[in-house]
Structure formats: C-alpha cells, structure tokens
Amino acid sequence: MKREEIKTLIMRVGGTNCDAETQRAFRELGAQAETLHLNEVVKRRNLMDYNALVFPGGFAHGDYVRSGAIWARLVMAKLGKELKAFIDEGRPILGICNGFQVLVEEGLLPGFEGVSAYPEASLAPNIRGYQCRWVYLKNENRGNCIFTGKVPEGKVLRMPIAHGEGRFVLPKEKEGALLAKLYENDMVVFRYCDKNGVAAEEKYPVNPNGAFHDIAGICNREGTVFGMMPHPERAFYWWQQPDWTRQTQMTQYGDGKLIFESIVEHLAKRC
C-alpha cells in the first residue's frame, strides 16, 4: 500500500483533546488521518474502512469513575464486534495516555490470553499526583511490537508525559508471574530510565508515576495493539523538545516521530 492510501482513524469523545496533534503527526508522514467522534463512527459503522485506529490523549468523559473506564465500556458496547474483527485482522491500534487507559479498561491490554472481559492491569493514580514533565524511555522490545519497528532495541527516547493516573500495576499476588509472561511474549515495550538508559528502579522523578517495573508502554501478544503513557505526538518536531535552544545541531524531528513512522512503514509494507 502506498503511504497516501493508508487511512488512520483518530477516535474522540467528549473530553478527548490530543486528537489534532495526533492527526497532524500521521499527515506529516503522508498518511491519511481523520478524526471522528464515537457517535459518528457508530452512526456510519465504518470502523473497518480504516487501516489503523488511535485512541488519543485527553480526559474522556472527565475520567469519571476511573480514567478511560467510561469510554472503554461505551466502545465495547457499541463497537465491540467491529473492534474484535479489527484486532483479529491484525490492524494496529494505538492508545496514547488516556488512550492507553482505554485499552487497558477495554481488556485489550495486556491481553495475556487475548481480549479480556475485564481489565487485567490498571493505570492507577500517580504516587505524586498529576505531572507534566519530559521523561526518558528505553525500548525493551525485541521486535514483536510493530509500533517500535523503527526503534532499535535498547535505544533511549525522550518524550513528555502529562497525566494523573499512569502508574502501571498488575495484580499484586501474581505480579512476578505476569511480568515474566510479559517478557516471554515480548509485550514489554517502554520502561522509564535516565538519559543514559539506566532503569529508574521505580524512583521518582525518573519514573514519574511509580509504575511497576518502570513500565511506560506495553503491547499485546501479537504486537498490534500498543499503549503508552508518554506523548509521542508532542515530541514529533525538534522545536517541541524542552531544551532545543541549547542544541547547536538542529534536526528536523523529535523522538516521537519514530512511533508514527513505525506504524506507517508497517502498513505500507504489509498490504
């Protein structure tokens, strides 16, 4: 498929607010991207017209009850069948920040045994409350995740986070076993680290929210559904970086571009 034929759907509901910059990222790479309200997608029943789906950041439905919970339940109730088909065909689904919370609440991530009826993990309140700051992430994925195809294993990326509920946790009693399973299936993607790539070991602020095992992003077993708390769309251009005025060599893009580039390249090759 040519890049310009790739169709991406950025879904939104009341309270979604990172759709415009996410759409911009795809368009900058030559792919088509359209932002539609869930109500419109339900009305048009056109989810399968798209090659990739993104749940962008924001505060969907005010994040009432739990972050992402209401949007997740609505999507499953209204579009559950289509979404299942979308996943079964291996079409990529990306969740950023609030979108990651949605994917967890939908039971799509981690998805140890496929889509789960109830959440298998949680993005719990941060240990120090809402935070907006730049963090470093290490790519720990060995090649399963299609969203990091352009990111070499072990590479350190820099992106901002901005959330109050992003502390990734697994059920305490099975934490160790589930973590092993995440690694076994190559589902761990990003971990918080310092600028040299040394793991945060859950220390603040290198790990900004207290996430278990410094986990910032995971994918499903197939590597086609991916959620991350940091915002790649806010690290797309070099001038979005927090200290670009210090850099003597100006590049055109920031690290976030690699995520979008990976999706587009994957789709271009695949079809």
**Distance in angstroms (rounded) separating the CA atoms of residues 47 and 41:** 7
- Quote the least distance from Cβ 169 to another protein, whole Å: 21
Q: Which of the residues 219, 233, 261, 266 is marked catalytic?
A: 233
* CB nearer another protein, residue 20 or residue 48: 20
**Residue 177 CB, nearest approach to another protein (Å):** 31
Work out whether strand 131-139 and strand 165-169 pair parallel, antiparallel, or are unpaired.
Answer: unpaired
3-state secondary structure of 108: coil
Note if 37 is an active site residue.
no
Considering the complex, state which of residue 186 and residue 194 has its C-beta at the smaller distance from another protein: 194
Nearer to another protein, 51 or 136 (CB): 136
Q: Which residues pair with 52 in a beta bridge?
A: 8
Full DSSP string of 123-170: EEEPTT--EEEEEEEEE---S--GGGTTS-TT-EEEEEEEESEEEEE-
Q: Which is nearer to another protein, 20 or 198 (CB)?
A: 20
Task: Point out the catalytic residue in the list 61, 163, 213, 231.
Answer: 231
Minimum distance of another protein from residue 47's CB (angstroms): 17
Omega within 30 of 0 (cis) for the link into 125? no
Q: How far is the CB of 246 from another protein (least distance, A)?
A: 6
Which residues lie near another protein (CB under 8 A)?
Answer: 14-18, 20-21, 24, 37, 39-40, 57-59, 61-62, 64-65, 70, 73-74, 77, 128-133, 160, 162, 231, 233-234, 236-237, 239-240, 242-243, 245-246, 250
Number of alpha carbons in the 13 Å side-chain half-sphere of residue 78: 17
> How far is it, in rounded angstroms, from Cα 175 to Cα 166?
17
Reply yes or no on whether 97 is catalytic. Answer: yes
Spatial contact of 162 and 243, defined as CB atoms under 8 Å apart: no
The one catalytic residue in 18, 61, 97, 120 is 97
Running DSSP on this structure, what letter comes out for residue 77? Answer: H
CA dist., res. 111 & res. 223, Å (int): 11
- Shortest distance in whole angstroms from residue 95 CB to another protein: 17
- If you count DSSP H runs as helices and E runs as strands, how many of each does the chain have, helices first? 6, 11
Nearer to another protein, 130 or 183 (CB): 130
Catalogue the active-site residues.
Answer: 97, 231, 233
